[in-house]
């Protein structure tokens, strides 16, 4: 690994400077170093270069597979890997942790090693935390003064090794990954966050630079009496229009403008790169008032380009929070406190959607989504330098690489994962944030020039980058939606086999976690990290204490709700114990309904009250029958020596006999299918389903559901009346019935709050508040549609079956536990541990939620 070289260099630097002031008594504490600071500085340098080096390794997937096809690379990795494991094991031993990471006989799975590392990290950080707290107690008087209402960000470390910035030692220090005692910014938001399990509706209600106006509700109300057509046709047209209306609701508000955006010739011809101003000579403005924001918007509207970047926080929030926006023009840098101005940010749409102004981002994929989600901001005319870099086939496409390549600036991305909620922002973080946009316009010039040069002056390549950027700006934010099968997607990534009890436990814990995380506005990783969920599911502890023992450190919400969790585990333990096969079927049946029939969770699910024709005893027998059938299939499978297929080589590597066997098995129909819950929802179900189609499906269902309900009410109330009418007007067929019916429904609909119909208009302020109110006051006995409480209705909506009480997991029945807010004091609990949890768990879970582009 190339890090050894840079290590030596920085090593020498430290040692050299030490030799001047080499005092023997100090040497005793950290041999070879002047003092602890020097040692720490060195340590951080080493960790940093190791992190950099590891980021430089080929990425998992094609890139890695390609490299691995070289025996030399493989050998090198093996030997380096052994060395690293050796080293880790020594550190673990030193701290008295289980340290068999390097023992290949005892451990095979990466997950197990990962668990060991997590455990050891916890032990080490716990100890560090205790010591820091101790030290902190001694210095209690020296805490910095913070604005009222703010808990001081506890320790902030920073002056170490920020090269060249010359920011001579401020003794402030801050925690990079997770600062504790930060007041939740959400509490100050004017508009409450909508974590409900419903599709995201664009937040935009004013559309600057519109070519096509925002859809208005009125425009789409269809008046059947205007239509001189038969009733059935009118009905069809009505449905069609309603569908269009719903589609407009969820559409990208600037779809039309972006579809019609063309790049002017001036942006396709070679620019003369305009040098950036030195940071020291550039004015920096911190924007945290509406006044300043308006002024900034006016300034931006006069420009032909500006650069934008965002900083984000995702650990202590369910959907994530955009904490900061950086904007750089050719002359000035701006940092906007988007926590403070969250509800006002939309005014920037005037500049952001102006097609004559280029907005330069680096790696805008997430930014585009965050802008929509938090502010209702959209970008028309985007240039993404990450796409530019890719088209140029530069060695790396990250921003720090571009900075080095074009600006000779050595940035480090150390603060990328800092807790950006910290206020007031430490100067180091301001400086970091600023460098993310300060050079970007110059890089934009250089990239465009090179794209033309590398294509012999032809604009094709540059045009393709503009197109890719446009595609990115067309991305729609999708709220994470919980479905009955969400847990399977997570399990699929784990190489574990679960029995029915363990699987049930995992499913229940997963639902509990999602529900609670939405309610408390915490990330799922904070609520209960996956590796802990797996551990609880595997061990199925008999006592609540056992659940606590599975978690180290114990997440605050787990501690608070350990009894509820215990009930879920008990419920899982009551399942008939059966082995569940995985993988091969999952791979086979991806995209077909059989996934659920044969998939690992069906047996557990079928035990629910959804088998109405059986007594409890009969239900058990039924389950056993299903399992007998499955065991037979399994046996059949084994007879043909079908191994678990490798995802990549599955198709090619099977022999003819095996393929035949597979086809036979695939043709097996589960004879109990008719008794099992509907499986339509699993058709099209894979990681890359088209989210918008899902949304339409969902909203269509809501519509149907509400229409159905209205129809029933109508029928009940006016049965006699209508019968009379129908008979009297028999001659005019059902046309009159339709129109009365329609008019009645429209009238009803106008009275129905948005939250009930699931139909939301793009006027968020008022309507959302109304929806919130319904949510807050909701009681389990309410019969109207409540999107948030999917334990009762949503799941069924997703599954396409009618609303039914879910007897297995109903958080509403769990006393006040869910309603109660966690007292701040309790949340602070276990601080030292939380840090490691935030890092390890947060990281691993982010991995499955997003694919981070290289930045
Ligand atoms: P950047 O575009 O590099 O300024 O990153 C913007 C935000 O994305 C940061 O504030 C982080 O919250 C998040 N982020 C960037 N890279 C990663 C990563 N590798 N893992 C998790 N979060 C990331
Ligand atoms: Mn960014
Ligand atoms: Zn950034």
pLDDT tens by residue, 233-265:
777 777 777 777 788 889 999 999 999 999 999
Ligand 3 being an ion, which residues bring their Cβ within 5 A of it? 309, 436
Q: What is the CA(436)–ligand 2 centre distance, in A?
A: 8
571 lines ligand 1 (CB under 6 A): no
Strands 283-287 and 305-313: unpaired
pLDDT greater than 90 at residue 567: yes
Distance CA 612, CA 804 (A): 12
721 vs 54 pLDDT, higher one: 54
Distance CA 784, CA 33 (A): 69
pLDDT greater than 80 at residue 644: no
For position 350, what pLDDT does the model report?
A: 98
509: CB partners within 8 A, 6+ apart: 528, 533, 536, 537, 565, 568, 569
Average pLDDT for 291-303: 98
Average pLDDT for 567-584: 81
Q: Is the peptide bond before 553 cis (omega within 30 degrees of 0)?
A: yes
Q: What is the CA(730)–ligand 1 centre distance, in A?
A: 67
pLDDT greater than 90 at residue 398: yes
Q: What is the CA(338)–ligand 3 centre distance, in A?
A: 14
Which range, 56-60, 750-754, 822-826, is most confident? 56-60
For position 620, what pLDDT does the model report?
A: 55
67 vs 126 pLDDT, higher one: 67
Give the closest ligand to the alpha carbon of residue 437.
Answer: 3
For position 32, what pLDDT does the model report?
A: 82
Q: What is the CA(589)–ligand 2 centre distance, in A?
A: 38
For position 534, what pLDDT does the model report?
A: 96
For position 394, what pLDDT does the model report?
A: 94
Give the closest ligand to the alpha carbon of residue 361.
Answer: 2
Average pLDDT for 32-54: 83
250 lines ligand 1 (CB under 6 A): no
Nearest CA, atom 22, ligand 1? 417
Indicate the top mutation candidate among 417, 418, 421 to test ligand 1's pocket, ranked by most ligand atoms within 8 A of CB: 417
pLDDT greater than 60 at residue 703: no
Nearest CA, atom 18, ligand 1? 852
Please, which pLDDT band fits residue 768 given cuts at 50, 70 and 90?
Answer: very low
Q: What is the CA(35)–ligand 1 centre distance, in A?
A: 34
Least confidently predicted of 171-175, 399-403, 502-506: 171-175
Look at residue 432 and give its three-state secondary structure. helix
436 lines ligand 1 (CB under 6 A): yes
Indicate the top mutation candidate among 370, 416, 849 to test ligand 1's pocket, ranked by most ligand atoms within 8 A of CB: 416
For position 145, what pLDDT does the model report?
A: 30
27 vs 625 pLDDT, higher one: 625
pLDDT greater than 50 at residue 809: no
Give tens-digit pLDDT for 138-182: 433 333 333 333 333 333 333 222 333 333 333 334 444 456 678
Least confidently predicted of 32-41, 476-485, 576-585, 608-617: 608-617
Strands 156-157 and 173-174: antiparallel
Q: Give, in degrees to the nearest 5, the angle at Cα 687 between 378 and 367.
A: 20
Distance CA 194, CA 215 (A): 22
For position 827, what pLDDT does the model report?
A: 36
Q: What is the CA(854)–ligand 2 centre distance, in A?
A: 10
Atom of ligand 1 nearest to the CA of 399: 3
Atom of ligand 1 nearest to the CA of 311: 10
Host H or E run for residue 544? helix 544-550
Secondary structure of 547-613 as H, E, C letters = HHHHCCCCCHHHHHCHHHHHHHHHHHHCCCCCECCCCHHHHHCCCCCHHHHHCCCHHHHHCCCCCCC
Atom of ligand 1 nearest to the CA of 313: 12
Is the CB of residue 1 less than 8 Å from the CB of residue 53? Answer: yes
Q: What is the CA(834)–ligand 1 centre distance, in A?
A: 20
Give tens-digit pLDDT for 67-121: 888 888 888 888 888 887 888 888 877 777 776 766 666 555 666 777 777 777 7
For position 593, what pLDDT does the model report?
A: 27
Task: Tell which phi-psi region holds residue 113, choosing left (phi > 0), alpha (psi between -120 and 50) or beta.
Answer: alpha
For position 133, what pLDDT does the model report?
A: 56
Structure tokens at 596: 């659920």
Least confidently predicted of 194-208, 343-357, 725-739: 725-739
pLDDT greater than 80 at residue 337: yes
For position 95, what pLDDT does the model report?
A: 78
Is the CB of residue 330 less than 8 Å from the CB of residue 274? Answer: yes
Average pLDDT for 429-452: 97
Give tens-digit pLDDT for 183-234: 999 999 999 999 999 999 999 999 999 999 998 754 444 454 555 677 777 7
Q: What is the CA(66)–ligand 3 centre distance, in A?
A: 31
Atom of ligand 1 nearest to the CA of 324: 10
- The pTM assigned to this predicted structure is 0.55
Please, which pLDDT band fits residue 705 given cuts at 50, 70 and 90?
Answer: low
pLDDT greater than 90 at residue 619: no
pLDDT greater than 80 at residue 539: yes
pLDDT greater than 50 at residue 647: no
Q: What is the CA(554)–ligand 1 centre distance, in A?
A: 26
pLDDT greater than 60 at residue 544: yes
Please, which pLDDT band fits residue 592 given cuts at 50, 70 and 90?
Answer: very low
312 lines ligand 1 (CB under 6 A): yes
122 lines ligand 1 (CB under 6 A): no
130 vs 673 pLDDT, higher one: 130
848 lines ligand 1 (CB under 6 A): no
Q: What is the CA(309)–ligand 3 centre distance, in A?
A: 5
Which range, 249-263, 644-658, 780-794, is most confident? 249-263
Nearest CA, atom 12, ligand 1? 312
């Amino acid at each position: 690994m190339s890090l050894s070289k840079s290590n030596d260099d920085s090593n020498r630097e430290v040692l050299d400077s030490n030799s001047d002031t080499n005092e023997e008594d100090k040497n005793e504490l950290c041999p070879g170093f002047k003092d602890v600071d020097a040692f720490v500085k060195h340590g951080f340098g080493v960790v940093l270069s190791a992190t950099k080096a590891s980021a430089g390794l080929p990425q998992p997937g094609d890139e890695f597979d390609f490299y691995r096809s070289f025996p030399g690379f493989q050998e090198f990795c093996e030997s380096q890997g052994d060395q690293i494991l050796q080293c880790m094991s020594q550190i673990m031993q030193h701290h008295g942790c289980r340290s068999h990471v390097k023992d290949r006989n005892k451990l095979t799975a990466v997950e197990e090693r990962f668990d060991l590392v997590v455990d050891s990290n916890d032990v080490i950080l716990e100890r560090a935390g205790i010591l820091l707290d101790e030290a902190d107690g001694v210095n209690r008087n020296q805490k910095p003064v913070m604005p009222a209402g703010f808990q001081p960000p506890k320790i902030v470390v920073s002056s170490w090794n920020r090269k060249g910035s010359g920011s001579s030692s401020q003794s402030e220090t801050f925690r990079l990954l997770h600062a504790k005692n930060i007041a939740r910014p959400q509490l100050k938001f004017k508009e409450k966050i909508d974590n409900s399990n419903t599709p995201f509706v664009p937040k935009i209600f004013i559309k600057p630079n519109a070519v096509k106006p925002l859809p208005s509700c009125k425009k789409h109300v269809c008046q059947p009496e205007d239509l001189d057509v038969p009733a059935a046709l009118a009905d069809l047209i009505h449905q069609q229009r309603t569908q269009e209306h719903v589609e407009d609701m969820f559409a990208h508000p600037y779809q039309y403008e972006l579809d019609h955006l063309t790049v002017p010739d001036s942006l396709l011809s070679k620019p003369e790169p305009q040098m950036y101003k030195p940071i020291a000579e550039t004015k920096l403005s911190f924007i945290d008032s509406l006044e300043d924001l308006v002024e900034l918007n006016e300034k931006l509207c006069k420009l032909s380009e500006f650069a934008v970047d965002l900083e984000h926080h995702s650990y202590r929030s369910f959907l994530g929070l955009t904490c900061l926006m950086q904007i750089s023009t050719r002359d000035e840098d701006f940092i906007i406190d988007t926590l403070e101005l969250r509800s006002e940010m939309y005014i920037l749409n005037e500049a952001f959607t102006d097609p004559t102004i280029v907005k330069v981002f680096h790696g805008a994929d997430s930014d585009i989504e965050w802008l929509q989600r938090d502010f209702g901001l959209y970008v028309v005319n985007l240039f993404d330098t990450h796409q530019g870099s890719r088209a140029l086939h530069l060695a790396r496409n990250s921003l720090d690489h571009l900075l080095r390549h074009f600006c000779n600036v050595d940035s480090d991305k150390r603060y990328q994962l800092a807790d950006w909620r910290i206020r007031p922002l430490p100067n180091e973080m301001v400086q970091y944030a600023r460098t993310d946009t300060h050079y970007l316009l110059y890089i934009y010039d250089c990239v465009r020039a090179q794209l033309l040069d590398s294509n012999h002056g032809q604009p094709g390549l540059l045009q393709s980058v503009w197109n890719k950027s446009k595609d990115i700006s067309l991305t729609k934010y999708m709220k994470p939606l919980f479905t009955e099968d969400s847990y399977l997607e997570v399990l699929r990534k784990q190489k574990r086999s679960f029995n029915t009890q363990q699987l049930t436990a995992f499913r229940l814990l997963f639902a509990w976690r999602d529900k609670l995380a939405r309610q408390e506005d915490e990330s799922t990783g904070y609520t209960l990290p996956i590796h802990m969920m797996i551990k609880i599911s595997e061990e199925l502890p008999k006592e609540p204490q056992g659940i606590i023992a599975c978690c180290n450190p114990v997440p605050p919400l787990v501690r608070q709700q350990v009894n509820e969790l215990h009930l879920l585990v008990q419920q899982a333990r009551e399942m008939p114990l059966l082995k569940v096969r995985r993988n091969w079927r999952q791979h086979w049946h991806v995209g077909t309904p059989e996934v659920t029939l044969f998939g690992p969770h069906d047996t557990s699910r079928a035990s629910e009250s959804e088998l109405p024709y059986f007594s409890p005893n009969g239900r058990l027998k039924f389950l056993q029958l299903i399992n007998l059938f499955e065991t037979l299939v399994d046996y059949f499978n084994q007879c043909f020596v079908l191994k678990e297929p490798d995802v990549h080589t599955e198709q090619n590597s099977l022999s003819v006999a095996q393929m035949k066997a597979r086809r036979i098995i695939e043709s097996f129909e589960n004879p109990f299918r008719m008794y099992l819950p509907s499986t339509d929802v699993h058709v099209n179900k894979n990681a890359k389903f088209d989210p918008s189609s899902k949304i339409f499906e969902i909203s269509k269902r809501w519509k149907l559901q509400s229409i159905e309900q209205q129809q029933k009410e109508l029928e009940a109330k006016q049965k006699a009346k209508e019968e009379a009418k129908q008979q009297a007007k028999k001659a005019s067929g059902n046309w009159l019935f339709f129109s009365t019916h329609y008019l009645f429904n429209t009238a009803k609909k106008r009275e129905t709050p948005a939250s009930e119909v699931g139909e939301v208009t793009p006027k968020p302020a008022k309507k959302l508040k109304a929806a919130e109110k319904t949510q807050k006051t909701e009681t389990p006995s309410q019969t109207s549609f409540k999107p948030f409480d999917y334990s009762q209705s949503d799941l069924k909506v997703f599954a396409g079956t009618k609303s039914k009480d879910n007897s297995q997991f109903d958080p509403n029945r769990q006393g006040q536990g869910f309603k109660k807010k966690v007292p701040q004091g309790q949340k602070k609990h276990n601080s030292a541990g939380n840090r490691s949890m935030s890092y390890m768990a947060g990281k691993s879970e982010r991995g499955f939620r997003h694919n981070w582009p290289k930045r």
